[in-house]
A and B are shown apart, each in its own frame.
Chain A
Amino acid sequence: MDTNVLFIFILSVFVGFEVISKVPSMLHTPLMSGTNAIHGIILFGGILVLAGADSLLVQVLGFVAVVFGSANVFGGFMVTDRMLQMFRKKKSQ
């Protein structure tokens, strides 16, 4: 295995901890929603599996994975944006 990948993994762990360490509690749910959208990157995995599919079973399940991942990533960013829109309105009142 390429040890560089492990290096990147370990550094990402620390970055993830560090960047949100000062989040105020009113942003807990939007932050959860935003990071939820980011793991929608699993869509890439679905696309790559489906691109190399060589049987009906892999095509069907790969298709399901793409639909799930796509809903996760697009829906995730959209629902977060709606949440934060609501925030701004509340504050300006």
Chain B
Amino acid sequence: MSSPLALVFIGASVLFILGIKFLSSPKTARLGNLVAAGGMLVALLALHKPEGGSVWLSGWNTNFTLIIVGIIVGLGIGALGAYSVKMTAMPQMVALFNGLGGGAAALVGGLEFMHGTHGGLPAFIAGAMLFATLIGSLSFSGSAIAYLKLEGKFEKPFTFPGQNFVNGLILLAILTLCGWLTFNSTGSIAVAILAVVAVLALIFGVAMVMPIGGADMPVVISLLNSFTGLAVAADGFAINNLAMIVAGTLVGSSGTLLTLLMCKAMNRPVTNVLFGAFGSGSSAKGGG
């Protein structure tokens, strides 16, 4: 990275940090959001391809048209969602946007992995891509369930005997396959197994959120928010983009602390919120 470009990304990172900092104080919260948005705009305009050259000045082709159309479509969806949602339904909207971010992180990780299967990938890079695919998919489906629960669909915790065992089995399968893929990232077999991992992660996201009551969804969304942040950071490692690493990691760590603070505000340990429905049997109530 050339030094003027590095300075731009350092500036954007500072704006992200200041934005989050301002967001955590009532007087400056609204400014904080604008500061973070400003950082995003600066970083977006300065976006360069990994091999060098600005994305925006690289010449007009089909892919470039798709990028512009995609951004406009996303902007439309985002604006429509943000301005049409009722004041009481804001957390649902956050869940939806978080899910979309998770889905994007999974797609970026998965597609980069697929691209890498032609020649094989270093274990660290493959691992980062797999992590993004796995966590992003989990966040995507988990956020969808959180959204539905907040909308009043199957609000009650959904549990069945042996649920822990089944969930553990799914997780074990995911980790085993990812472990294998990390060191065997060549050929179409790797792509097929990656698809299996993504599907299992989608199922695990559903299985993770279903047992949790509707009233605890804000905590779950906060947790999934920090997960998506980490997935984005992993994608940043995979495609060597510093802005993504910094922004994703900031969200990952501040989101983790925020999740803990939210639980503390409710006077409940985080394990109780996430696994409260287990083991308590029929005494588990919807929580609200």
Contacts and interface: CB of A to CB of B under 8 A. Distances in A.
Interface of A: 1-2, 5, 8-9, 12-17, 19-53, 58-59, 61-88, 91
B186 interface: no
A87 B29 contact: yes
The secondary structure that dominates the B interface is helix
22 contacts: A20-B261, A24-B25, A29-B91, A35-B258, A41-B247, A42-B235, A43-B71, A44-B243, A47-B71, A51-B67, A52-B115, A58-B114, A58-B115, A59-B63, A63-B66, A70-B72, A70-B77, A74-B75, A75-B78, A77-B40, A82-B83, A87-B26
Contacts of A26: 26
Given A40-B101, A44-B43, A45-B241, A79 B36 contact: no
B81 A25 contact: no
B111 A76 contact: no
A68 B94 contact: no
B33 A84 contact: yes
Q: Which of A8, A9, A15, A49 has the most CB of B within 10 A?
A: A49
Interface string B231-245: 111011101111111
A47 B30 contact: no
B79 A9 contact: no
